[in-house]
Structure 1
């Protein structure tokens, strides 16, 4: 069954069992459209979400060694390859510290289209960060849990494991996150996946981060011996604001 058919099936199934409507078209203006090649929008290879801005973060069970090499992130394909001392060179882009300094805010709607990685050990994510916190995970994924996306609001401790047959290694997935004051709502392939019933403070804001981490084997398997590359793709990332 194709990804499109699975998505349609999921919407029909949910409406038959719960009559949950699909997402409305975002209201307001389009305030951000990602151009990963833009050095005005994005900084590559460092983030204060990592200790001392990087390049490594072993305390979070990651083998990442962040690099600014454009081949690892600037084309929308986020890559990782073996590096020194058991680490992996990995791509990360953030709006933090960029010339445009874009930040998402309460009320914004984030939309993305991603192709999930196939390789065990890959740990892709789209998330937010500002001044030591303000983390919302639009998604995280580990191919060893092939049908599961992790969706989290770290401000409230709310989170959800979303399972669906349309989620699988190599699949294209459409994501939408409504950053509401009363609830943060995640949609996956047009189906409401999670409503946290917690929301965000009216003055909440954060920078965007898009990256491919590498698991160290503590909670998810590290890359298989002999593996020379990991990757996932972000085809679209944009933000609407009321």
Structure 2
């Protein structure tokens, strides 16, 4: 299913009557988040040029821990960038099938900025809550890489510097994305009943293959996440949690 049409609108966002808040992001918490490394990048980082990124991940608190995710140019052509993940953290929180994620974000405006909220586990399990590239200033990208679906949402409310309220329901039969309270895409693929994955929030920098690299006179950029919560229907069973006390490790299949 693509976006809504006048004769075929999407239903309003659904909140199960007994959906409990199971995760409220505290980006300064080292129990919740690991900074500057993830197995979504080769060898857990710090660079990922194969994905057209100029990122050089850093654990510096100034790049992510306030909820403002920053990137600054380096002399070697890479950019020091902020990334947080629940993978490898003490709490090791995982989003599960049926969960609802809600986030409020402020989009960047600099060419080359590539903010995203997404999931990852075992070398895959990626659902993109959103991706954004300012060279397409009114466009958000959504993706279900678990079952092969995606959508580009175009709207005047999407623009550099704008605040957006995002909502993603990770349904077993359909992942549903909403923007500013209105559902805009249902993929009718879903994630299956046993799906679970870690959260990643980061600001990448495009290398120029698919989207323009930063201008030569750009030296820093940022995007902000002022809130992020995950709700879970109370009737859901409780397995599929991460491993408490674990250290960051490569969970990818050999």
Q: Does the pair score TM above 0.5? A: yes
Cα distance in 2 between the residues matched to 1:228 and 1:159: 32
Matched, 1:24 2:23: no
Cα distance in 2 between the residues matched to 1:224 and 1:48: 29
Q: Which has the higher helix share?
A: 1
- Count of residue pairs brought into register by the alignment: 229
Q: Which range moved further: 211-220 or 195-204? A: 195-204
Q: What's 2:135 paired with? A: 144
Equivalent runs, 1:154-233 vs 2, <5 Å:
154-233=145-224
Cα distance in 1 between the residues matched to 2:33 and 2:229: 14
Q: What's 1:110 paired with? A: 101
Structure 1 runs of 4+ aligned residues shifted over 6 Å read: none
Point out where structure 2 has 5 or more consecutive residues left out of the alignment.
Answer: 234-254
Cα distance in 1 between the residues matched to 2:174 and 2:14: 16
TM (norm. structure 2) is: 0.87
Cα distance in 1 between the residues matched to 2:91 and 2:137: 36
Point out where structure 1 has 5 or more consecutive residues left out of the alignment.
Answer: 1-13
Q: Which of 66, 78, 82 is 1:91 aligned to?
A: 82
**RMSD over aligned Cα atoms:** 1.3
Cα distance in 2 between the residues matched to 1:132 and 1:31: 25
Cα distance in 2 between the residues matched to 1:122 and 1:205: 28
TM (norm. structure 1) is: 0.92
Instruction: Return the offset for 1:225.
Output: 0.7
